[in-house]
Structure 1
Amino acid sequence: KDGPLVSRHRPSVDVLFRSTARYAGKNAVAAILTGMGDDGAEGMKELFDAGGWTCAQDEASSVVYGMPKEAVRHGGVHRQLSLNKIAGALLHAS
Structure 2
Amino acid sequence: MATRCCAGHVLIAPGDKHMLLERQGARYHVSVRNGPLVSRHRPSVDVLFRSAARSAGSNAMGVIMTGMGDDGARGMLEMHQAGAYTIAQDEASCIVFGMPKEAIAHGGVDKIVSLDQIAREIMAEDQRR
Q: TM-score with structure 1 length normalisation? A: 0.97
State the alpha-carbon separation in 1 of the partners of residues 122 and 47 from structure 2.
Answer: 20
Report the counterpart of residue 116 of structure 2 in structure 1: 84
Whole-Å separation in 2 of the counterparts to 1:35 and 1:24: 25
Q: Distance in 1 between matches of 2:51 and 2:101?
A: 22
Moved over 2 A (4+): none
How much is the aligned-residue C-alpha RMSD, in angstroms?
Answer: 0.9
Structure having the higher strand fraction is: 2
Unaligned ranges ≥5, structure 2: 1-32
For residues 35-68 of structure 1, give each alpha carbon's deviation from its aligned partner in whole angstroms, at most 9, with x where no partner exists: 0000000000000000000010000000000000
Q: Which blocks of at least 5 consecutive residues in structure 1 are unaligned?
A: none
1:48 equivalent in structure 2: 80
When normalised by structure 2's length, the TM-score is 0.71
Higher helix share: 1
**Structure with bigger gyration radius:** 2
